[in-house]
Amino acid sequence: MSSSVKTAISMQQHLFDDVNALADELNVSRSKLFVLAIEEFMKKNESKKMLAQINAAFADSPDETESKNSELMKGKQRKILENDSW
């Protein structure tokens, strides 16, 4: 089991009031609500990083071999679709 650490944060009063209201609504402690929010934020941030890496990997133009293979595949797919009776 991982250990817990305590931390203090500062926020505007209206946000604090909203946090308390949501924690009550969800029937969780304020600490649990912060943990859930941070976990969700970190997941979304990790997804954004991964998407940026994927986009960077596909950002370059295809080389000559990739272009030829793509054209060959288009032709083969076209023939398959022409022979397929939907």
Averaging pLDDT over each range in 42-46, 54-58, 63-67, which range is the top one? Answer: 42-46
What pLDDT shows up at residue 86?
Answer: 67
Alpha carbons within 13 A on the beta-carbon side of 14: 0
Residue pair 28/36 in contact (Cβ under 8 Å)? The answer is yes
Query: Of 63 and 10, which is predicted with more confidence?
Result: 10
What pLDDT shows up at residue 85?
Answer: 74
pLDDT > 80? residue 84: no
Q: What residues does each domain of the chain span? A: 13-83
Question: Average pLDDT, whole number, for the chain?
Answer: 93
Rounded to an integer, the average pLDDT of 27-41 is: 98
pLDDT in tens, 64-82: 999 999 999 998 999 888 8
